[in-house]
Amino acid sequence: MQSHQQLQRRLGVFDATAIGLGSMLGAGVFVVFSPATALAGSLMFISVLVAGAIAYCNAVASAQLAAKYPASGGTYVYGRRQLGEWPGFIAGWGFVTGKTASCAAMALTFGHYVAPAYATPVALAAVVALTGVNLLGITRTALLTRILLAVVLSTLVFVAVASIVGPHAASSAGTAHAGSTVGSAWGILPAAGLVFFAFAGYARIATLGEEVRNPTVTIPRAILAALGAAFVIYLGLALLLLWHLTPGQLSESLSPLLDAVKISGLSAGAPFVQAGAAAASLGALLALITGVGRTTLAMARERDLPAPLARVGGRHTVPYLAELSVAAAVIVLLLTTNVLTVVGFSSFGVLIYYSVTNAAAFTLSERPRHAPKWLNAAGFVGCLILAATLPATSVLVMAAVLAAGMAGRLVVLRLRRP
C-alpha cells in the first residue's frame, strides 16, 4: 500500500472548537433567518430546534467516529472503513462538491458587504488571500479563525442588545399585520433544512482529525462544545429577532441582523454589524477551504480523486495541491455562476454526507453511554427527511452531481482492471 506523508498534530481543544464554531457562525447567521422565516413564519424558532436536534445526533456520530479514525477526511474515511468504499465515496463527493459551492457563496457574501459594486473582484481577492493563509499552515489558520470569531461574537452580542433595547416593530399595532400570512407549520421542516446548513460547520473539526493533538479526547470535546455554543446563539437570536421584528419584515430582509439594529435605538452601530458580517464570511470561507482541502487530500490518497492531490509538503506541511485545486474551483464558480443560489444544493450534499456519518456510527460496537444506536438511527432518518423537503431544484441538481461522480468512479475502476 502506498504511504503518504502525514500532517502534523498542532491543534488543541480551544483551537479545534474555534474552527468549528467559526464555521457555524459564518455568513449563515447573518442571512439564514430570513428564508427560514419565509417558510415557517413565527414558528421559525421551532425549525432551529429541529435542526439543532438533528445536528446533535450527527455531532455525536461524528465524535464517535473521529475518535476512532483520527485522520483527515471526516466521513469519507469513516464511511470507507465502516460501510465500504462506495458509501465513503458518496459522502466525500457530496462534501467536496457541495462545500466548494459554499466557498464561492461565502466569498461573494463578503464581497457584497464590503464593496457591493465590486463584489466579484473582492470575492476573488478573498479566496486568494485566505488560500495563502492556509498554505502557511494550520496554526495560522487557527489564529486567524480566533480573531475573526472574536469579531463575529462581539457583533452578535451587539445585535442582541439592540434587539432588547428596541423599539420593537413586532409589538407595534401599525405593523403587526405585516407577518400575519408569512410561512406556516408546513414550512418548519424545509426551514430546518436551511438552518441545518448553518449548523454543519462542526464537520470541519472531524476533517482536521490528522492535525489535532490527542484526537480521541480533543475531537469529541471540540465538536460538542462548538455545536452547543452555536445552538444557544442561533436559538437566542431567532427568538430575539421574532420579538424585535414582525415575521413579514424578517422574511423580506436581505440582511436581518443589520435591519434589526437599524430600527433600534442603537442604529449608529450599523457599520459595526456590516464589519461583523464581513468577518463572519471570511471566517466561514477560511474554514471551508481548509475542510474541503483535507477531504480532497483523503480522497486522493485512496485514488478516488487524482493521486497528485494527496501531496503534502512545504515548510508548513500542508496539502498544497489540494488547497490550490479547491481555490481554483471556487474561482471558476465565482466567474461563471450565480453562487448565491446554491445554498440548497450544498444543504442536500451535506445532509447526504451526515446520513452516511450516522449509518457508519450505527455499526460501531464500542460506544459511550451518551451515544446509543437509536441516536444514530434518528440522525440518519432526520437527515434524509430534511434532504427530501428541500426545494426540488436543489434535490435534483445535487442528485445529478452525485450520480455523475459515481458514474465517473465506476468508469475509472473498470479502466484500472487488468
- Check residue 312 and give left, alpha or beta (phi > 0: left; psi -120 to 50: alpha): beta
What is the spatial distance between Cα 116 and Cα 67, in angstroms, rounded to a whole number?
43
CA dihedral 392, 20, 326, 212 (to 10 degrees): -140
Going by C-beta distance under 8 Å and a sequence separation of 6 or more, which residues neighbour residue 180? 247, 248
247: number of Cβ within 10 Å: 23
pLDDT per residue, tens digit, the chain (418 aa), is 444 455 556 667 777 777 778 777 776 787 788 888 888 888 999 999 999 999 889 888 988 887 788 766 678 888 999 999 999 999 989 888 888 888 887 888 788 777 878 888 999 999 998 888 767 765 555 677 778 788 888 889 999 998 888 776 655 544 444 444 666 788 899 888 888 877 777 666 766 656 667 767 777 788 888 888 889 999 999 999 888 888 888 888 777 888 888 888 888 888 888 888 888 888 778 777 877 877 788 788 888 888 787 777 655 566 777 878 888 988 988 888 765 566 677 788 888 989 999 999 999 988 777 788 999 999 999 999 998 888 788 788 888 989 999 998 898 888 877 6
Which of helix, strand or coil describes residue 181?
Answer: coil
- Nine cell digits for residue 200: 454543519
Lookup result for grid cell 462544545:
225
Which of helix, strand or coil describes residue 212?
Answer: strand
Look at residue 181 in the predicted model and tell me its pLDDT. 62
| In contact, 160 and 154? CB cutoff 8 Å | no
- Nine cell digits for residue 375: 441516536
Overall pTM surpassing 0.75 (yes/no): yes
The structural domains of the chain, ordered by start, are 13-416 (1.20.1740.10)
DSSP string, 31-83: HTHHHHHHHHGGGHHHHHHHHHHHHHHHHHHHHHHHHH--SBTTHHHHHHHHT
Segments in 337-391 forming alpha helices (H): 343-362, 373-389
